[in-house]
Structure 1
Amino acid sequence: MNSKRSLRQKYSRLVRGEGNWEHTSSARSFDNDGEPICNRSNNRPFSSILSTRLQRRQVLRGTLAAAVTSMFAGPVLDGLKARPAQASSPLLGFRAIPVSEADVITVPEGYTARVLIPYGEPITGDFPRYSLNNTGEEQGMQIGHHHDGMHFFPIEGASPYEGSSTDGLLVVNHEYIEPRYTHAAAVGQPLSPDDFPRKADGTREADQVLKEMNAHGVSVVRIARQNDGSWSVVPDERNRRITALTPMEIQGPVRGSELVKTKYSPDGTRTRGTINNCAHGVTPWNTYLTCEENWARYFLNSDEVVPRELERYGTSTDGTSRYGWELADSGADEYARFTASALAGSATEDYRNEPNNFGWVVEIDPFDPTSTPQKRTALGRFAHENVIFQPPVEGQPIVCYSGDDARSEYIYKYVSAQPYFQATASGALLDDGTLYVARYHEDGTGEWLALKFGENGLTPENGFRNQADILVNTRTAADFVGATPMDRPEWGAVDPRNGMVYFTLTNNTRRTPEEVDAANPRPENNWGHIIRWDEGADLAAPSFRWDLFVLAGPKDDSRKLSGRALNEDNIFACPDGLGFDADGRLWIQTDIGESVMNQGEFAQFGNNQMLAADPNTGEIRRFLTGPIGQEITGVTWTPDQRTMFINVQHPGATTSEEEFAAGNVNSRWPDQNPEIYPRSATVVITKDDGGIIGT
């Protein structure tokens, strides 16, 4: 039987609930972030494609040798040809720093790093001071937990990249929380990062749940540079917190669908809150996009058969949800909605559909504090990492990309149906367009497969009822059309000089030798890599050409563009955050998981770090190392590039349950005070001579 037909027949059964996607939580495995691995498709993985391209017999763990070297020394893509290595890159004007295990931020000589807006910093309302004893209501006036993607908007509000470099709105995501570092009631208990305090009867204090929900979401805060070069919070009516409780509108093809109707919104047009806000995007019309990533386990479904729109995303099915918000002792509706089971006669009488209101990209107008955030459903529903735009062209469609951050998931592209005109552009461009998913080929080419009703077999006969159904079940539709599973696609970035797209593929330790391919070249991929592609002049075209930029890892198992291995100045693992500055430097941030950080093979990389790369030569240098137990994430600049902002997320996360119970927390960053737990925070980096960062 034709292999494609066999695959489609299989998914025709699965999407109708006739296959093995019923309740199978007992067999579920988890990735490095503790998220369930939900892709059980037979789609050919990227590692298999790259393996064939790189002479598969030579692609063995630790012995990439000639296969990878030959690929990097002579890429097939004219636009991606490596240049000879130079002793000194014209873009990188700093001396690389060494790896570090210290509980500090380290930057090169001639630079200064200062802490800004740590968790709990007051920004609005009554400006309550930070304390473990803060109430849930007070948390709603303070900076949230676990800073992630962010952007600096110049205060004039006319452009996201032009204007003041001394005054602006910093918009920051707060991905998740550590309850043990949130509540006074947690002190002395043997709690891991995801564990939470419970009452004797197994329920949770409602105010603790409120505090955790208000620690999620997004912060909009005005900041200004002071005379001494530091930055501080400015009281402003635009300062606000957007949390897991903030009312939001559902826009795009899913608005009004049967799949998003709930007791809260019987017509399927509204929902409450945004959660697990990982990275972000910035629209050409000066608004902020926050991306909902690992949201699925926040919900609990106890139905005998779990619907595909929950099962394919890994909704909790046993015991409690990730933080047990449904256990709040008040039983209030805003907490009860995290029980996503069929408890009543129809979907408008319970919250069986509540998870379908999450997994989206949310648009926020940072300059209008009265505006309602909009969930843009045409961009698809999955574990969004970030959204990156090609520079807009007057009269042409908007083009943007996003990765699904889970092992063996996919990379997506969106093309608007209507053209962009600067004078009239708005979020409506994100409500009407075509979502595509990537398929990679061994010869260095790739194609975009439309996830559009009536195309590529996405029809009622194959279990897809309409476009809303396809978008709510984006992963299932991508499985069906034969997308290429990737090694955890995370952040993307577009080179401002030539439009080339870069994506980090963080790792995949479970990829077998039989599953390697041209774009995911290593089995047991501990270290990760960065892929890039060129779409040519027609960004809306259905094809592209791809190659690898770097294979991360230690000296004996890595390659950069020159064909040479990484060295002590740039060895790194698990690339995650990614961003280009205006001059074309590529900034790479790492996220080695806390379960392996500074242990075994990972000890050589030290704490998580940030590096800068020259895309022309492939040269890479380590620019920053962070404190203990954290992830370096988020990067943005003032328009003059003389101030850089990065985030330090979850310092102290490597503290064990026993250490926490005994009060032996292994990080006290940034306060370095034995009475204060570690706190995520933004770090402001400036050059002592006032110059451009990186030069």
Structure 2
Amino acid sequence: MNEQNDNAGLFGSGDEAPSNHSNNPHFNDLVAGITRRQILASSAALGSLAFLGATLPSLAEAGEQTVASQPLKRRNRLPFTAIPTSRADTISVPPGYKATPFIPWGTPITGRYPAFADDASNSAQDQAEQTGMHHDGMHFFPIDAQRGLGRQSDHGLLVLNHEYIDAPLLHPNGPTVVNGKRVNAEEVRKEINAHGVSVVEIRRNVRGEWDVVPSPRNRRITAATPMQIRGPARGHKLLQTRYSPDGKATRGTQNNCSNGYTPWGTYLTCEENWAGYFASADADMPRELSRYGLRSSSRFGWNTLPGDEFERFDATRKGASATADYRNEPNHFGWIVEIDPFNPESVPIKRTALGRFAHEGLIFAPAKAGRPLVCYSGDDSQNEYLYKYVSRDRYWPGFSHGRLLDEGTLYVARFNADGSGEWLALDITNPRFLKACLTARVTFADQGEVLINTRLAADVVGATKMDRPEWGAVHPDTGEVYFTLTNNTARTLADAANPRIANAYGHIIRWREQSRDHTGTRFNWDLFLLAGPQTDSRGPDGTALTADNTLASPDGLWFDPDGRLWIQTDMSGSQLSNGPFGNNHMLVADPRSGELKRFLVGPLGAEITGITATPDFRTLFVNIQHPGEGSTATNLLSSWPDGPGKRPRSSTVIITREDGRHIL
């Protein structure tokens, strides 16, 4: 998510205000001693960039030579024509492909299956039975994948996030506000129900088209759905509220951006810019609120309505204890939430061992039988951190489940100037962590408090501030980890690794763990790509980007089964309205050769986000979020996907080849 709305009042930008005031070194301070040539050393002829601090064989050398050491002729791994930038209000894909809108906001999926009303007059209950607004992270579960396996490609569950809402479009004439307060409870309930997650059973019909299946598996999880809290913070005093005096239960998930999925076949939704949904009038907010950017007013004003369902968004201390009010309600958000998509009666679980921050997503290293499970997540805010979790117990296919995400060690990354890196444990039993706390004069009562205050714990150990860590992806063959650093316009000093002042363009970093199973604490890193115009960029091959692949604000990342990296952009403001980039788009990179091409361009004002595919790789699902961003009922800035005069609607797009073959 990369909104840049200057409206500071209700319904304004959902981006968290920077709240990291620690003295930890910024990423650019750490790499000042590295030359641009070292970082972007091109080895396209060998098929791979060299990792800093080590001489590594290229992928081409390692896997594509004959017995006689003669290189094999490589097939074209990007066999499509790069498409140009565009500012048209449509979806553009290469010749030979087609893109079909699917399950847009308001599609009936459960309950009474209420039809979408073009004038947005649907009720709050209708919205609870329709797909939510602003589609984001997503995963396709084959219908035979209940144990984590599954190869069926014509029938499955499509599970997707709904990150936030455009309130002016959600209601016929926008939201009702009187003297800065919300006064219509039905409107706010509809907004709450437009958030969360949709589980949609889909099947390919005899014509090869995808249909929604009326199914008991279809489900909406919203910002009001009852949930359980598990892991080290379960039952903590900082989670006690009027609704949950024992701190073990909560309601709802919201601002769900990217996602993840487990080896045992469950969905993980990730709570990102949740802090703006709450308000506190307390002048002395505790660190678990102030370090996460809570303010005296909230983004949507839900807290201004009477009634328990709305008062929970007011974190002001009002009662004699935490069980008498909602001072701790914000501590129920910022977690990874596990959902069993195959069991509509299951209760979603917030897994606290994975830390509390603005989670962009959660990606897993290759799961190996008999070894601990490893996963990564980024904190999407300026100058925040990258994290890794290593389970205490070992993963066993067919037997392991969500408890692996309850007991383990959370680490935060430090990137060193010589191209090495270190994972720093956020563990109250770790002597190094305790020493860092003593030096910083910061105390934590227990591990639960460490995880509720994950950002502060990371400050204490000296993690490296990064430029808005967003989506991650792990190469299916090499295990290399890639993360987008979308942008940081607050930068005032340039250096080798971040060579632009006020970095509006962003870049992609990658690292290789020194341990084969990813459980170790050392890694080597380099930069995969510096986004920007042709005059200020470097592609995966070490050369400047061209008209075929210029991009800015890289956000979504995904590896396809053949190890190609799909990159989605989330530009806004002037980057969309003028300059070389056009509308937001999606590109494909071949890390072996360094080749990069633009594959898709979206409609006006939209972010390209969320991507998944069927196992046979003949259907690609991509999400188009907030087309016509900034639209109102009387000023529609896009009419995609329904056509002239219709409200723009976030939607999934189904991409296939016209000849029915594999996508690539």
The CA deviation string for residues 616-668 of structure 1, in whole angstroms up to 9 with x for no partner, is 1111000000000010000000000000000000001144xxxx47x231201
Amino acid at match of 2:536: D
User: Is 1:110 aligned to 2:96, yes or no?
Assistant: yes
More off after superposition, 376-385 vs 151-160 = 151-160
Structure 1 Cα separation of the partners of residues 363 and 77 of structure 2: 23
Task: Give the equivalent residue in structure 2 for 1:265.
Answer: 244
The CA deviation string for residues 419-449 of structure 1, in whole angstroms up to 9 with x for no partner, is 0111320000000000000000111100000
The equivalent position to 1:340 in structure 2, one of 301, 315, 326, is 315
Written as runs of structure 1 = structure 2, the 5 A alignment for 1:28-427 is 34-54=15-35, 69-70=40-41, 75-76=51-52, 77-79=54-56, 81=58, 90-131=76-117, 132-158=120-146, 160=148, 162-186=150-174, 196-199=175-178, 202-317=181-296, 320-328=297-305, 331-427=306-402
Structure 2 Cα separation of the partners of residues 617 and 548 of structure 1: 15
How far has the Cα of 1:80 moved from its partner? 7.5
Amino acid at match of 2:203: A
Task: Give the equivalent residue in structure 1 for 2:67.
Answer: none
Amino acid at match of 1:475: R
Structure 1 Cα separation of the partners of residues 74 and 537 of structure 2: 21
The equivalent position to 1:501 in structure 2, one of 471, 477, 481, is 481
Report the 3-state secondary structure (helix = DSSP H, G, I; strand = E; otherwise coil) of the residue aligned with 2:610.
strand
> Does the CA-based 8 Å contact 1:51-1:522 persist in structure 2?
no
> Does the CA-based 8 Å contact 2:373-2:404 persist in structure 1?
yes
Structure 2 Cα separation of the partners of residues 442 and 284 of structure 1: 35
> Does the CA-based 8 Å contact 2:14-2:276 persist in structure 1?
no
Structure 2 Cα separation of the partners of residues 401 and 155 of structure 1: 27
> Does the CA-based 8 Å contact 1:213-1:245 persist in structure 2?
yes
Report the 3-state secondary structure (helix = DSSP H, G, I; strand = E; otherwise coil) of the residue aligned with 1:120.
coil
User: Is 1:685 aligned to 2:655, yes or no?
Assistant: yes
Structure 1 Cα separation of the partners of residues 226 and 384 of structure 2: 30
Change (3 A) 1:269 1:83: same
Structure 2 Cα separation of the partners of residues 305 and 579 of structure 1: 42
How far has the Cα of 1:148 moved from its partner? 0.3
Amino acid at match of 2:284: V
TM-score in terms of structure 1 length: 0.88
> Does the CA-based 8 Å contact 2:513-2:522 persist in structure 1?
yes
Amino acid at match of 1:610: M
How far has the Cα of 1:34 moved from its partner? 3.3
The equivalent position to 1:469 in structure 2, one of 449, 453, 456, is 449
How far has the Cα of 1:462 moved from its partner? 2.6
The equivalent position to 2:639 in structure 1, one of 668, 675, 694, is 668
Change (3 A) 1:412 1:359: same
Structure 2 Cα separation of the partners of residues 231 and 605 of structure 1: 32
How many residue pairs match? The answer is: 631
Percent pairwise identity:
54
Change (3 A) 1:97 1:138: same
The CA deviation string for residues 20-55 of structure 1, in whole angstroms up to 9 with x for no partner, is xxxxxxx9xxx9853201111111111222332126
TM-score in terms of structure 2 length: 0.92
Amino acid at match of 1:177: I
Change (3 A) 1:572 1:511: same
How far has the Cα of 1:90 moved from its partner? 2.5
More off after superposition, 228-237 vs 238-247 = 228-237
Report the 3-state secondary structure (helix = DSSP H, G, I; strand = E; otherwise coil) of the residue aligned with 1:51.
coil
Higher helix fraction (1 or 2)? 1
Amino acid at match of 1:90: N
Task: Give the equivalent residue in structure 2 for 1:14.
Answer: none
Give structure 2 stretches of 5+ with no counterpart: 1-7, 44-48, 62-71
How far has the Cα of 1:568 moved from its partner? 0.5
Question: What RMSD in Å do the two structures reach over aligned CA positions?
Answer: 2.2
Structure 1 Cα separation of the partners of residues 491 and 613 of structure 2: 37
Report the 3-state secondary structure (helix = DSSP H, G, I; strand = E; otherwise coil) of the residue aligned with 1:52.
coil
Give structure 1 stretches of 5+ with no counterpart: 1-26, 56-65, 187-195
Structure 1 Cα separation of the partners of residues 92 and 582 of structure 2: 12
> Does the CA-based 8 Å contact 2:576-2:584 persist in structure 1?
no
User: Is 1:561 aligned to 2:540, yes or no?
Assistant: yes
Structure 2 Cα separation of the partners of residues 171 and 69 of structure 1: 38
Change (3 A) 1:410 1:94: same
> Does the CA-based 8 Å contact 2:136-2:160 persist in structure 1?
yes
